[in-house]
Amino acid sequence: MMGLLFFSVFGWIDLSRVYFLPTFIWPQIIGGFVLGMGFVIGGY
């Protein structure tokens, strides 16, 4: 993302032509919790 911002500032890339996927926060929170619990159980 920092690279895209850098390229945009210098005019090397047009950010209006770049497609960003929408962020779905609740599935990411739940998935992170499940993954974290797996790490905890695996380490135990």
For residue range 8-41, what is the model confidence (pLDDT) as tens digits?
A: 999 999 988 888 888 899 999 999 999 999 999 9
pLDDT given for residue 16 in this prediction: 87
pLDDT given for residue 37 in this prediction: 96
Give 10's DSSP letter.
T
Q: Is 14 exposed, middle or buried (0-12, 13-18, 19+ CB in 10 A)?
A: exposed
Q: What is the CA radius of gyration of the chain?
A: 18
Amino acid at 42: G
pLDDT given for residue 18 in this prediction: 86
Write down the mean pLDDT value for the chain.
91
3-state DSSP call for residue 6? helix
